Amino acid sequence: MPAHDHHHHDHCHSGAHAQAALPGYRRVLWIALLVNAAMFAVEVASGLKSGSVALLADAIDFFGDTANYALTLTVLGMGPLWRGRAALLKAATMLIFGTLVLGKALWSAHLGAPPEPVVMGVVGTLALAANLGVAALLYAFREGDANMRGVWLCTRNDALGNIAVMLAALGVFGTGTAWPDLAVAVAMSALAISAGWTVMRQARRELAHHAR
């Protein structure tokens, strides 16, 4: 999952307000938001229960997407200043999440107990299905602006994250150690942190531009 692709992830839906006039688009955004919010909750709960840090890291992706859809719906009629502020808030939250998961990965490495691979595999598969379902819903709007086309990059990156969790589950099952889970978690946390920084820099530039 290349870093430059991943930071596109966070501009995916932020400018989709241009598409809001399309019939059914708002409804699809609401469905996508609810699916992503539900999967965020499922991955956090099962990550904590199974001891899988990779699931917690993957949950950040679902959080980022939920926030993107929510921002798109909320700031549809608002000016660029509010959109910039909202993006800044989301970037800060992603940075905090990424840092917490990274810390948890280091702590788990210290403890050394392997996570529960079956839970990881099942939830990873469910997450992949959720992402593919959202992609199918958004398919009708793929000809929209750059933001809508960006959804494809997002969905692809998210799906890669889900597959990485499933591979980590196999690795944990095969080796009986926590290392495959931790390796995936650290990589995903690092991507989330770099994405958060990218969005924060851009949001600050936009805010400075509009403040002039």
pLDDT in tens, 31-59: 999 999 999 999 999 999 999 999 999 99
Residue 126 — very low, low, confident or very high, per pLDDT cuts 50/70/90? very high
- Whether residue 168 is predicted with pLDDT greater than 60 in this model: the reply is yes
Based on the structure, what is the number of domains in the chain? 1
Looking at residue 22, what is its pLDDT? 62
Question: What average pLDDT does the chain have?
Answer: 83
DSSP labels, the chain:
--HHHHHHGGGTTTTGGGGTTSTTHHHHHHHHHHHHHHHHHHHHHHHHHHT-HHHHHHHHHHHHHHHHHHHHHHSTTS-HHHHHHHHHHHHHHHHHHHHHHHHHHHHHHHH-----HHHHHHHHHHHHHHHHHHHHHHGGGTTSSHHHHHHHHHHHHHHHHHHHHHHHHHHHHHH-SSHHHHHHHHHHHHHHHHHHHHHHHHHHHHHHHHH-
Pair 126, 36: CB distance under 8 Å: no
- Please give the residue that has the higher pLDDT: either 72 or 109: 109
pTM: 0.81
Q: Which domain covers residue 181, as residue numbers?
A: 3-211
Mean predicted confidence (pLDDT) in 118-125 = 96
Residue from 155, 187, 190 nearest 168 by CA: 187
